[in-house]
Amino acid sequence: MLKSLKVPTFNFIASGKEILSLELKNLEYLHQCINHNFQKVGEVLLNCSGKIVTMGVGKSGYIARKLAATFSSTGNPSFFVHPTEASHGDLGMLSSGDIIIAFSKSGESSEIIVLISFIKHLNIPYICITENPLSTMAKSANASIFIHKTQEACNLGAPTTRGLLGKKLLIRVHDIMRSKNKVPIVNWTCSIFNAIVEIAKKNFGTVVVLNDHKKISDVDFKHTAIKTVMTSKFQVIHPNILASEALAKMKFSNVKFLLVAINNYLLGIVRMCDILHIGMS
């Protein structure tokens, strides 16, 4: 049956050589990654007295699984933990002396980022392998290896959209909002000067008047009462609303943040920059 099909002529030899040439070029890029960061990661691993735990999501997860298998085959106790399972109790397998190696192309894998504080609390060294040295994962790691961006051998070069789709469907306002203990809040009778002091303390660009859920800009008066200049043109959103909907509301209303509240009780603030930071647009 196959012989009867009229398949267009295709030069498989040329295609195969082209792919291998591209892979060789990518190996040259990898050669540049062997630097002081690589040395530091090696030293951290050499001092490991416990288990080597690898983790990653998607294709990064496959690489993490392979690395764990390689470590185990060389006599170094190692296993793979999926970040989602880790957040539901699998991190309980960790103990003093262990090391975590996390893989993420973007360095912004939300499944891993939520685990970082717990990993730090256990005082377990954490190594990050990523393409982005400015990422959240890289900045919080004890040591990192940065892989230069290379060209895919696949001529389609189609980026996956599943990560972005998952964020739009799952991440809600309460997952990324700034809780009110991190937001400048003042009484409506306080002076603008004191409001600015509170803004500076919390490193925020706005201040919330607690009882009325109103805000002011960062203006420079010293004795004027805040109630005389505050604006009532504010936007409120429920914490269970999807972050993607919050972003759409900010764009439509031409504002940079929304007050998060239930029945007029302030819970915090969600900012446009925080939503964009997790890769949602």
Check residue 230 and give its pLDDT: 64
Summarised one tens digit per residue, pLDDT across range 104-160 is 988 888 888 888 888 888 889 999 999 889 888 999 899 999 987 766 655 555 444
* Angle (CA) 24 30 35, round 5°: 150
- Mean pLDDT on 27-44: 88
pLDDT at position 212: 55
**Residues 61-108 pLDDT 10s:** 889 999 999 998 888 899 998 888 877 766 778 888 899 999 998 888
List of residues 6+ apart from 102 with CB closer than 8 A: 54, 55, 56, 64, 83, 109, 112, 126, 127, 128, 129, 137, 141
What does the pLDDT look like over 208-242, one tens digit per residue? Answer: 776 655 544 444 444 456 556 666 667 888 988 88
Q: Going edge to edge, which strands form the sheet with 178-179?
A: 178-179, 265-271, 257-262, 236-237
Average pLDDT, the chain: 79
> What does the block give as tokens for 76?
């170094």
Q: How confident is the model at residue 23 (pLDDT cuts 50, 70, 90)?
A: confident
Categorize the per-residue pLDDT at 45 as very low, low, confident or very high, splitting at 50, 70 and 90: very high
What global pTM score does this model have? 0.53
Structure confidence at residue 2 (pLDDT): 47
- Of the pLDDT bands very low, low, confident and very high (cuts 50, 70, 90), residue 168 is low
**Residue-level pLDDT at 158:** 46
**What are the Cα distances from residue 141, in Å, to 20, 50, 107?**
34, 18, 11
| Cα(59)–Cα(17) distance, integer angstroms | 25
209, 221 in Cβ contact below 8 A?
A: no
The residue-averaged pLDDT of 31-54 equals: 90
Predicted confidence at residue 222, as pLDDT, reads: 44
pLDDT at 141: 92
| Residues sharing a CB contact under 8 Å with residue 141, sequence separation 6 or more, in sequence order | 102, 126, 127, 128
Instruction: Kindly list the structural domains of the chain, giving each domain's residue range(s) and its CATH number in brackets, ordered by start.
Output: 14-154+160-165 (3.40.50.10490), 172-279 (3.10.580.10)
